Amino acid sequence: MTDVTQYAGSATDGSASLGPSVIPAGDPRYASLLRGQNHRFVPKPDYVHIVTNTAQVIDAVNQAVSAAKRVVVRSGGHCFEDFAASPDIEVLIDLSEMNSVFYDAERRAFAIEPGSTLGHVYTVLFKRWGVTIPAGECTEVGAGGHLAGGGYGPLSRRYGSVVDYLYAVEVVVVDESGTARAVVATSEADDPHRDLWWAHTGGGGGSFGVVTRYWVRSPGATSDDPTELLPKAPSRWRTEYMMWPWDSLDEETFTKIMHNYAGWFEANSDPDSPYANLSGFFHGPGRTGAVLVGASVDDDLPDARELMAAYFEAMQKDVGVEPQTMAGPVQPWLYTVSFPGFGDLGDHMTRRFKMKAAYLRKGYTDAQISTIHKYLTSQDADPSLILIGYGGNVNKVEPAATATVQRDSIFKVMVISVWADEAEDEERLARNREFYRDIYAETGGVPVPGEVSDGAYINYPDADLADPEWNTSGVPWHTLYWKDNYPRLQEVKKRYDPRDVFRHRMSIRLPE
């Protein structure tokens, strides 16, 4: 493929017609446009540049670069760290109004603009074509950062990571002379820009340029009928839970539940397993909550109920403490993936987060479970430990085939703290950090790739991995995220962003 000359975003392909809008500090609109989801970070750019098509992005980047201003881009604003909200940012390019989703017959693929929320993507794909992508559960996340970072969700065990469906990407990059241009990079073997496509299959946002469009379709799909170019969306979605209040558990019974949970995923995470159709999670909150195991499944599958029943039977085996069970509603699919309660909540809600993450190839060791038990039972609420079932069809893909290198894990782990009041920052952060460090005490406080762990997930970024106080493993943060794929990502960086225009605290570094 060649560089594009006809940029995306004309009125005919559905892009918003709102023109570019430059909103400087002092403008009455300015304060409303600074923050993303995590209110711990508030940037103070000279101006916010709202853009709605590729030509406007090129102009916005050229203006910033020629004025030697530090520029970053934000799409859905759901970054857990300050990548799009650090204090040194001078220009914030806001892509949230660039949010069309449509079928591109020429490329035989669905085009997704970066400002589209996942809920909007699911809604359009479903209403028009009855198809979907295996992306995130949280419907207000933006496609811009999510796809580039290797997003996953409740359909990933069944269908793979969302990046396994990425066919092409349009990126505004800046050359050595400081001039911006748009490049379309595809997965085609003979595409001279194929490496740029590859870098967007898990290399993370904010490192190479501004993504102005993604195109998705099922790998190997040959049809030109759009209804056959992505997985069929479920019609109804079944969710069930099993719960043990903390006061009914001791360390032994808690350990048993964790072993049951991990053992089930160790045994049932092959791509061919019928249980790859099932998504599951474990939620361990502090002592005011309850230990929760859940699962959900496409209710149209003929064996949906049997799969669920077998899963929950395995979860309670030999625990010896009767759980409470709850069947969630069997919901129409679109209720699940575009539930209105997931929208922008405004400032009155809890919006301060600290996330730490890891991959697990198998269940935690008894020593780790003992640490987890100690922390969770000695605190009221935060942080929680969440283990989301992964693997299945994600693990069909070779580690080097995409930038998403972890391809034999069975869990994504989150250690997450959520609070409302800035005054609690220090205490909440300390607890979160100490908990995680102690889980990984044997490997320098971080999930060093090995028999049990396999590094961390860039879409749940954690700046502490680059801090020698919290990472004493000697393994650099970029190895935890990308392992052997990192040098290739650095080569792509050198070729497409030689001036390191697009950078943040965990962006891909230029090779030395």
Ligand X SMILES: Cc1cc2nc3c(=O)[nH]c(=O)nc-3n(C[C@H](O)[C@H](O)[C@H](O)COP(=O)(O)OP(=O)(O)OC[C@H]3O[C@@H](n4cnc5c(N)ncnc54)[C@H](O)[C@@H]3O)c2cc1C
Q: Give the interface with ligand X as residue ranges (CB under 6 A).
A: 36-37, 72-80, 83-84, 95, 114, 136-138, 141-142, 144-146, 148-149, 151-153, 205-206, 210-211, 459, 504
CB closer to ligand X, 81 vs 240: 81
- Shortest separation between residue 84's beta carbon and ligand X, angstroms: 4
Please list the helix, strand and coil fractions of the chain in percent, rounded to the nearest 5, in that order.
30, 20, 45
Residue 161 or 268: the one with the smaller Cβ distance to ligand X is 161
Q: Which is nearer to ligand X, 14 or 444 (CB)?
A: 14
Query: CB-wise, 207 or 269, nearer to ligand X?
Result: 207
Q: Which is nearer to ligand X, 226 or 447 (CB)?
A: 447
CB of 93 to ligand X, least distance (A): 8
Strand locations in 154-254 (E): 166-174, 180-186, 210-216, 236-245
CA atoms within 13 Å, Cβ hemisphere of 244: 25
3-state SS, one letter per residue, for 104-122: ECCCCEEEECCCCEHHHHH
Residue sitting closest to ligand X (CB):
205
Write the CB contacts of 419 (distance below 8 Å, at least 6 apart in sequence).
350, 352, 382, 428
* Least separation in angstroms between CB 465 and ligand X: 15
- Nearest distance from C-beta of residue 447 to ligand X, angstroms: 17
Runs of H (alpha helix) within 205-319: 251-267, 304-316
Minimum distance between the CB of residue 85 and ligand X, rounded to whole angstroms?
8
Question: In degrees rounded to 5, what are phi and psi of residue 24?
Answer: -85, 165
Cα(489)–Cα(485) distance, integer angstroms: 6
Count Cβ atoms below 10 Å from residue 262 Cβ, excluding itself.
21
In angstroms and rounded to an integer, the radius of gyration of the C-alpha atoms of the chain is 22
Q: What are phi and psi of 274, to 5 degrees?
A: -60, -25
Nearer to ligand X, 254 or 359 (CB): 359
Of 122 and 275, nearer to ligand X (C-beta) is 122
CB of 75 to ligand X, least distance (A): 3
- Shortest Å, Cβ 7 to ligand X: 15
Question: Could you tell me the smallest distance in angstroms from the CB atom of residue 214 to ligand X?
Answer: 9
Closest CA to 151 of 135, 170, 172: 135
Q: How far is the CB of 225 from ligand X (least distance, A)?
A: 29
Residue type, 22: V
| C-beta closer to ligand X: residue 40 or 433 | 40
The torsion angles phi and psi of 291, rounded to 5 degrees, stand at -75, 125
CA distance 382 to 396: 35
205 or 280, CB closer to ligand X?
A: 205
